[in-house]
């Protein structure tokens, strides 16, 4: 989440935590058992709040520095689409079926369409 915060603030308009209840419920280390509000198992809201605080401090440092010192832009969907192609390629190589080849073609088309529709520069 901290990396997404930095990426969104540096290269997009803003960021927000999607489900704020996860950050406001059972904030202490002795919180109720289970994984409330979709948090990672064993993580308290305080863990998340501490990471957000640290990420904001890092963001303040980066914004005071030249853009050349910022972390490289990452596109989560692009990374996911490339991984989808890799998985489809493995399945197509192993299965050698029309269905597997079709899945690979669709994954490749999805990537091409994404790159065409979203100007990314450098991809």
pLDDT score of 123: 40
75-101 per-position pLDDT tens digit:
888 889 999 999 999 999 998 899 999
Residues in the chain: 123
pLDDT at 24 over 60: yes
| Residues 64 and 80 reside in one and the same domain | no
Domain enclosing residue 100, as ranges: 76-117
| Residues 26 and 50 reside in one and the same domain | yes
Q: Mean pLDDT, to the nearest integer, of 49-63?
A: 93
Residue-wise DSSP of 33-80: SS-GGGPPTT--HHHHHHHHHHHHHHHHHHHHS-GGGSPPP--HHHHH
pTM over 0.75: no
In a domain, 122, yes or no: no
Nearest 5°: CA angle at 8, between 7 and 9?
95
pLDDT score of 101: 92
| Residues 47 and 97 reside in one and the same domain | no
Lookup: tokens for 4: 């997404």
Under 8 Å CB-to-CB from 115, ≥6 apart: which residues?
Answer: 78, 123
């Amino acid at each position: 989440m901290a990396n997404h915060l930095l990426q969104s603030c540096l290269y997009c308009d803003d960021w927000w935590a999607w489900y704020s209840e996860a950050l406001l419920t059972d904030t202490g280390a002795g919180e109720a058992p289970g994984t409330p509000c979709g948090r990672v198992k064993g993580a308290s809201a305080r863990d998340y709040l501490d990471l957000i605080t640290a990420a904001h401090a890092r963001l303040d440092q980066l914004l005071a520095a030249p853009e050349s010192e910022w972390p490289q832009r990452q596109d989560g969907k692009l990374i996911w689409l490339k991984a989808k192609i890799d998985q489809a390629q493995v399945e197509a190589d192993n299965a050698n079926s029309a269905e597997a080849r079709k899945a690979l073609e669709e994954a490749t088309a999805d990537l091409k369409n994404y790159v065409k529709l979203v100007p990314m520069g450098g991809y």
